[in-house]
Every structure is written in C-alpha cells, then in structure tokens.
Structure 1
Amino acid sequence: MIILYLLIPTLMIVLGLTVFQHVLLTFLLFYGWFTLLIFRRWQRGWRPAFHLTGSGWWVGIGSGVFFGSTVFVSMWLLQEQLFDKEQLDMLLANWGFSGASVYGLIAVLLLINPVLEELYWRGTIHEQLRSRLSCFQTIVLTSCFYSLYHFFSIIPLVLWPFTVLCMIAVFVAGCFWGYIRERTGSVTVSIVSHALADAGIMGVYWFFLR
C-alpha cells in the first residue's frame, strides 16, 4: 500500500497537466488526494506533530528565506536560459493559469501547498516509512518521490538542461525538510521553510514571467 501512497501524487500531476492540461483540475486532483489521505489517517488517530521551540522558528524562517531568495535570484539571473517566454505564456494559458484565476492559484501555492505537502510527505508518509526504515532511507525515499512529480511539472516549463538542476534543487530541499522534521519531531519547521521557498518561486512568476 505504501508504494501507492508514494506514486499517486505523481499520477495526479500527470493526469492533470499531461492528460487534461488544466492547472485548476490538477490542483483538485493533487490536493484532493493529499486531503483524503490526511483525513483518513486523522480518523484513525494520527495527529501531526506541530510543537515547535523558539529556535525551530528561526530554522524554518532562515532556511525558507535562503531557499526562496536563492530560487528568486537564480531564476532572475538565468531567466533567458531557463525559459522560452513565448512558449511559456502559451503553455500557462492552455493550462488555465491566466486571468483572475491566477490570484487564487498563487494563494493556493503559497498557503495550501506547503501545509498539505509537508503533512503528507514529512508527516504521514515519513512516519509510515520511519517505522520500517532507517532515518537516512526514509528521508531519501520520501525526497525521491517528492521530486518525481515535480519533474513532470517542471519539464514543460524549464528548458533543458536546467530541468535537471531544478530537480536536484527540489530533491535537496526535500532532504533538508525531512532532516529537520526528524531532528525536531515537528512538521511546523518544514511548513514554514517550504512556504517561504514557494514565495521565491511565485516571485519569479509575478515579476518576470506574467
């Protein structure tokens, strides 16, 4: 069963972006699955660990600012090598990422995405794997499958070979969030860090790509 939990997020992304080619539908499939599994685990008594010390907040904020600013500055400096602006505009329009809906989709990516992704990967999946595997194996495995669906969403957006570099960055971030979740026993640090990292990505879109 755990292998399905690892693969289904990728299947939702492929269905939404490749088969139906619509961002809103992709969000409904993707976040709907996360919400369903988290809710089912909650019904069975699972509770995510939200406790956090003062130093944990600084780790979350500091790492998030580092990730977000690194993404923003890197994409700003390399935007001509990373993106085909004309092709990207057409793709986002075909996906439904245009008009007034953009504001709602950005809000989802900044407010809902970090919470649900971290509750799923560094919460329920991490705990299920950790009961069977070592800390290192758990972190690497969750980061691999966390990176997998990003691969399918990044491929159409970023020019080769920067696709590979983006995937490495996603994997490293996933490993870091898994590590701090293991060290602190809480998903709050990774949620805060993840939200600020996503803000850097949305900043690139807002200032340079829209």
Structure 2
Amino acid sequence: MLKRLTDVRLIAGFFFAHLLYFLTFQDKNVFWYIFTASMLFLITYAILNEEIDDEAPFLTYVSYGALSGISLFVLFWVGNSMLDLLNLPFSKQIDSLYNRLSPSVLWHYIVLLLVIIPGEEIFWRGFIQKRLSSYVNGWTSIVISALLYASVHLYSGTFMLPFAALIAGLLWGWLYTWKKSIPLLIVSHLIFDLFLFVIFPFS
C-alpha cells in the first residue's frame, strides 16, 4: 500500500494529465493545438517511464481492435438513440460536444490519427493502468484507470464526455489486461473514432 502511494512517476503523470486536459478544454478556438501538444508531452512521459506492450500478433490486434471498436460504437449508438427516444436533456450535450470539439479541418484528423488516439492509449492504458496493475489485481486496475481517464474529461463541463470516457476506458482497459497490446487498443480507438466522427456521427 505504501509503495502505491509513493509511486512518484504515477502520481506526477496523473497530475500532468489533469493540468494538460484542464488547459485543453479552456478555449475551443485552440482546443486542437493544446490537445495535440498535451498528448505529445504525455506520450513522451509514458515511454520514458514504461515499456510499451505489444504481445498480440498483427492479425490478432487488427481483428480484435476492429471488432471491439465497432462494438463500442454500436453500444454508444444505442445509448444515443435511447436518449433521443426518451427526449432526455443529455442529447443536447452531445450536440454541443460535436459543435465544440469535433475535428473540422484536415490537420485535425491527421493529429487525431497520429498523435491523440495513440497518445491516449499509450498514456492511460500503457502507463497509468500498467503501473496500477503492479499494485492491485487486474479488475481493480481496469476500474481505477477508467475512473482516472474519465476524471480528466470533467473539464469539458459536461456529464456526457466523462461518462463516455468511463465506458470506453472500461472496455479498453479490459482489452489491455486481456491481450497486453497497445496496438490493439489504438486500432480499437481509431475504428471507434472513425465511426463517431466520419462515418456515422451522432450530430
């Protein structure tokens, strides 16, 4: 227990993440600039402090990544449809998030693909969850890391984004514990975002 509380690298990484996500959500006009820079910093911090796991063969991480990404999108689509059907106010938050944060120009999509998606998986699963798993069992590390991942999205000022991050974080955390493959998670996250922002956006 004492060792867990004195893991300076883990605590510092989480502190940096909160600070950087806080700055990221402050102004939508510079959101993509700050988010990109923040993820570059967190990627660097993670790879300097942890080895990147890649234990799944190519076909495994591509197939499982694609299947899990599509499944997560379907889950979110069903949830969004239920919100619309029940006419709950949270659906307006989703419209607002799309208007504020969705990629809108080519370079946004490029950094989403090359920096932000890999960065979130490398940092939150490959660093935060991996370090937590050395102190607690697999399921506990999945839940704690998903909660931590959701917590930095509170700065968006909405309920829906942290809730979505929690659900996605639980799935990706479970996949990481199961397959120990960051590339698998990156493929899953990429497919999910591709459907969310390009193929079948909710707004």
Query: What band does the TM-score fall into relative to the shorter chain?
Result: 0.7 to 0.9
Task: Please identify, of 134-143 and 29-38, the stretch whose mean Cα deviation from structure 2 is larger.
Answer: 29-38
How many Å separate the matches in 1 of 2:191 and 2:149?
18
- Report how far residue 88 of structure 1 moved: 6.8
What code does the residue aligned with 1:10 have?
A: H
- Give the aligned length: 190
- Report how far residue 68 of structure 1 moved: 2.5
Q: Would you say 1:27 and 2:29 are equivalent positions?
A: no
How many Å separate the matches in 1 of 2:191 and 2:131?
27
How many Å separate the matches in 2 of 1:51 and 1:85?
36
Give the match for residue 189 of structure 1. 184
Give the match for residue 62 of structure 2. 57
Which structure has more relative contact order (CA 8 Å, sep 6+)? It is 1
What code does the residue aligned with 1:5 have?
A: G
TM-score, length of structure 1 as denominator length: 0.72
Percent of pairs identical after alignment?
Answer: 22
Give the match for residue 166 of structure 2. 171
Q: Would you say 1:47 and 2:63 are equivalent positions?
A: no
Give the match for residue 158 of structure 1. none
- Indicate the RMSD between aligned Cα atoms, in angstroms: 3.2
How many Å separate the matches in 1 of 2:95 and 2:134?
48
Structure 1 residues not aligned, in runs of 5+: 156-162
The SS at the match of 1:133 is: coil
How many Å separate the matches in 1 of 2:16 and 2:29?
18
TM-score, length of structure 2 as denominator length: 0.74
- Report how far residue 194 of structure 1 moved: 1.0
The SS at the match of 1:199 is: helix
Asked if structure 2 preserves the Cα contact closer than 8 Å seen for 1:51 and 1:188, the reply is: no
Structure 2 residues not aligned, in runs of 5+: 1-7
How many Å separate the matches in 2 of 1:208 and 1:182?
30
